């Protein structure tokens, strides 16, 4: 992998981290509020169904984590497993796509 | 900030990142069940009411708080013109506050 691609991955990792820092704070606050008195499907859906703001928020959240997690795992693969080459990139990209697919499925599930 | 602290912070950041990555597909799977209607979603949530699952959720929340704190530390180290000990202190304070606050709130 060339230096330019490395730089792009580094920037993507930091930029997604900054987005995620905001998303995680909102997510934690929502969770603390939501779990009080027990978590029910009706409560969650009442908050999210048909709400474009939550839909936008969770879409951004999923996009950011689908970039952030595979880039981080890819670095750990190299550091801890000495895993190099194209197979490492493909595994990381596949995991990112899995998160994107499952994450957007979840967002749609609670929105529609 | 000593090198040992930095080493521990990096280790916690990696381990919490790996565990959160493993948790996410499960989390998305549970939420995605809502596509099959509120009853299917409710059934998934009922499963999460078991004491051991709740304990696991609490652990995930702590991991998320730790990863957030560690990530803010990394961003501060790389982008802010602060001295090392200030960065470590700031991140430790932020992570500690978030973790304690969450532990308290979730215990309510």
The domain ranges of chain B are: 3-107
Q: Which residue in chain B is spatially nearest to A39 when comparing CA positions?
A: B45
Assess A109–B contact: CB distance below 8 Å, yes or no. yes
CATH code given to domain A3-111: 1.20.1300
Q: What's residue B2's pLDDT?
A: 64
Please check the confidence at residue A6 and state whether its pLDDT lies above 70: yes
With bands split at pLDDT 50, 70 and 90, how would you rate the model's confidence at B107?
low
Please check the confidence at residue A71 and state whether its pLDDT lies above 90: yes
Q: What's residue A37's pLDDT?
A: 74
Model confidence pLDDT, tens digit, residues A7-59: 999 999 999 999 999 999 999 888 888 887 778 899 999 999 999 999 999 99
Q: Which residue in chain B is spatially nearest to A46 when comparing CA positions?
A: B38
What CA–CA distance (Å, rounded) separates A91 from A71?
11
Residues B80-107, mean pLDDT to the nearest whole number: 76
Assess A84–B contact: CB distance below 8 Å, yes or no. no
Please check the confidence at residue B57 and state whether its pLDDT lies above 80: yes
Q: What's residue B4's pLDDT?
A: 76
DSSP string for A58-76: HHHHHHHHHHHHHHHHHHH
B30 neighbourhood in chain A, CB within 8 Å = 106
CA-to-CA dists, residue B43 to A28, A30, A41, B48, angstroms? 23, 21, 9, 9
Model confidence pLDDT, tens digit, residues B14-44: 999 999 999 999 999 999 999 999 999 999 9
Q: What's residue B77's pLDDT?
A: 82
Q: What's residue B104's pLDDT?
A: 67
- The answer regarding whether domain B3-107 maps to CATH 2.40.30.110 reads no
Q: What's residue A13's pLDDT?
A: 96
């Amino acid at each position: 992998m060339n230096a330019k691609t490395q730089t792009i991955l580094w920037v993507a990792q930091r930029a997604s981290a900054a987005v995620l820092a905001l998303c995680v704070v909102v997510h934690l606050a929502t969770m603390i509020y939501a779990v009080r008195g027990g978590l029910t499907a009706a409560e969650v859906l009442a908050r999210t169904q048909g709400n474009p703001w939550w839909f936008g928020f969770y879409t951004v959240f999923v996009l950011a984590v689908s970039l952030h997690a595979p880039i981080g795992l890819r670095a750990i693969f190299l550091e801890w497993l000495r895993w190099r080459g194209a197979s490492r990139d493909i595994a990381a990209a596949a995991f990112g796509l899995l998160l994107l697919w499952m994450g957007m499925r979840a967002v749609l599930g609670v929105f529609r | 900030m000593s090198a040992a602290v930095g080493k521990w912070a990096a280790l916690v950041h990696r381990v919490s990142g790996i565990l959160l990555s493993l948790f996410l597909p499960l989390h998305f799977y549970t939420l995605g069940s809502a596509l099959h209607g509120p009853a299917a979603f409710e059934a998934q949530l009922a499963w999460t009411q078991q004491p051991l699952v709740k304990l696991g959720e609490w652990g995930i929340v702590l991991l998320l708080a730790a990863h957030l704190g560690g990530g803010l530390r990394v961003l501060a180290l790389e982008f802010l013109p602060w001295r090392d000990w200030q960065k470590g202190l700031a991140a430790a304070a932020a992570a500690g506050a978030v973790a304690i606050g969450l532990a308290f709130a979730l215990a309510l």
